[in-house]
Amino acid sequence: MATLRVITTDGTFSVSVAPSESVLEAARRVNLSAHAFIFLDGADHPVSMSYQPKEDETVNAYGLRNATMRVLDPRYAVVQPTSGNFAVDVITETTDRSGRILLQLTTADALAVAKASFFQVMNQYLGSNPKQEVQIALSAGGDSRVVAECAAAWREAQGTTFSAVITALGFENGPQHIEHATRIAESFQLPYEVFDEQTAASLLGYSADLRTMGESYRMEFPDDDVEIIGTHWLELVNREAAARRGRQAIIFGYNQEDVIADHLYNVLLARTLPHYPVRTVRDITYLAPLAFVPKRLLDSLDIENSLRNYRQRVESRSYTRGAIYHLAYHLTERFPLLASAFAGAGLIDGEGSPIERWLAVYRTALA
């Protein structure tokens, strides 16, 4: 069997290359990025990533930077529930970065994680003034069902008034979407207002309904995802409804990957929108209280609603959107602490970096 000899500042280790396997395939199989190395044969001649080494041949892979490969270690400690049935597991990381944990959760555990994220963000926004009315952009999906349950728990504890806005966006089964969303609102005693494809379009000043506009969008932008314009309409409808009702904040059911993807997209465009989970745009604040909760955990809490949404999804065609979401999922799985920082938890090392604190000593000495 051929060998990929990986040479890094962490040390040297060997990766077996299966018959008919390329250098690229062997690297990916063990969680290594081929772009992090230069590949050379025994005479230090370049080797293509597509090269399939011969039996007993060794290809040397030299790390291009001194980045530690230990961060890619796929090993983890499994933490099982003390009681109850398994519902979902997530990969997390100890705060001292000493190791990863595969955290197995029951439904009650998973809901507790979601509530902890919700309460943290609501405390950040409302602080000592929890009594104001907050609007919820409520859909028929599993994420929204969790938002509604968390809102009901917060309302009971803090007395905040929540009101839901339900919007049919034209690319789902509108009546069914409204029916399931209103059922969620009623289950958690949330007063609600409904906008179908026509009334939502009228609210935004469009002459055509959102379903007609959605079909036109598909035709004019065949390489884009209709969900992008749908999310835009959702925000516009909720913003207009909040302004008319005098509400200052809107909750959206954006999960951890949504918030990371939003952050990466804004960085890509060099935009300076305030970062979630609390984003104020002019006079309205957008809240993402599930910003620290992975999508798979949320969907495990309402599999029925989540599966219905999965089965209605259309093919994704946007390269940018697809690539950014793949990056977000890789972050949550491979670098959980970094994912939390991207989701709005702040720097991993706390307020300010150690380097800034170290330099401050020298600035003081020179002053």
Give the pLDDT of residue 366.
Answer: 58
Mark whether 238 and 148 lie in a shared domain. Answer: yes
Q: What is the CATH number of the domain that holds 256?
A: 3.40.50.620
The vertex-161 CA angle with 295 and 247, nearest 5°, equals: 85
CB distance 288 to 254 below 8 Å: yes
- Number of structural domains in the chain: 2
Beta bridge partners of 12: 7
Residue 348 pLDDT level (bands cut at 50, 70, 90): low
Mark whether 136 and 17 lie in a shared domain. Answer: no
Residue 326 pLDDT level (bands cut at 50, 70, 90): very high
Cα atoms found within 13 Å of the Cα of residue 181, Cβ hemisphere only: 30
Residue 86: CB atoms within 10 A of its CB come to 13
Chain segment 93-152, per-residue pLDDT in tens: 876 666 788 989 999 999 999 999 999 999 999 987 788 899 999 998 888 999 999 999
Residue 351 pLDDT level (bands cut at 50, 70, 90): very low
Mark whether 155 and 213 lie in a shared domain. Answer: yes
Mark whether 50 and 120 lie in a shared domain. Answer: no
| The last residue of a domain, from among 23, 39, 71 | 71
Mark whether 61 and 116 lie in a shared domain. Answer: no
How many angstroms separate the CA atoms of 155 and 197, rounded?
A: 30
Mark whether 147 and 221 lie in a shared domain. Answer: yes
Give the pLDDT of residue 35.
Answer: 94
DSSP 142-195: HHHHHHHHHHHHHHHHH--EEEEEEE--SSS-HHHHHHHHHHHHHHTT--EEEE
Chain segment 197-229, per-residue pLDDT in tens: 999 999 999 999 999 998 888 888 888 888 888
Query: For residue 99, is it within any domain?
Result: no
Backbone angles phi, psi at 313, to 5 degrees: -70, 145
Mark whether 294 and 171 lie in a shared domain. Answer: yes
Mark whether 286 and 165 lie in a shared domain. Answer: yes
Mark whether 7 and 137 lie in a shared domain. Answer: no
| The last residue of a domain, from among 22, 47, 71 | 71
Mark whether 212 and 329 lie in a shared domain. Answer: yes
How many angstroms separate the CA atoms of 56 and 70, rounded?
A: 27
Chain segment 35-48, per-residue pLDDT in tens: 999 999 999 999 99
Domain extent at residue 65: 2-71
Query: For residue 349, is it within any domain?
Result: no
Query: For residue 16, is it within any domain?
Result: yes
Q: What is the mean pLDDT of residues 306-313?
A: 76
Q: What is the pTM of this model?
A: 0.87
| The last residue of a domain, from among 71, 96, 120 | 71
How many angstroms separate the CA atoms of 141 and 181, rounded?
A: 8
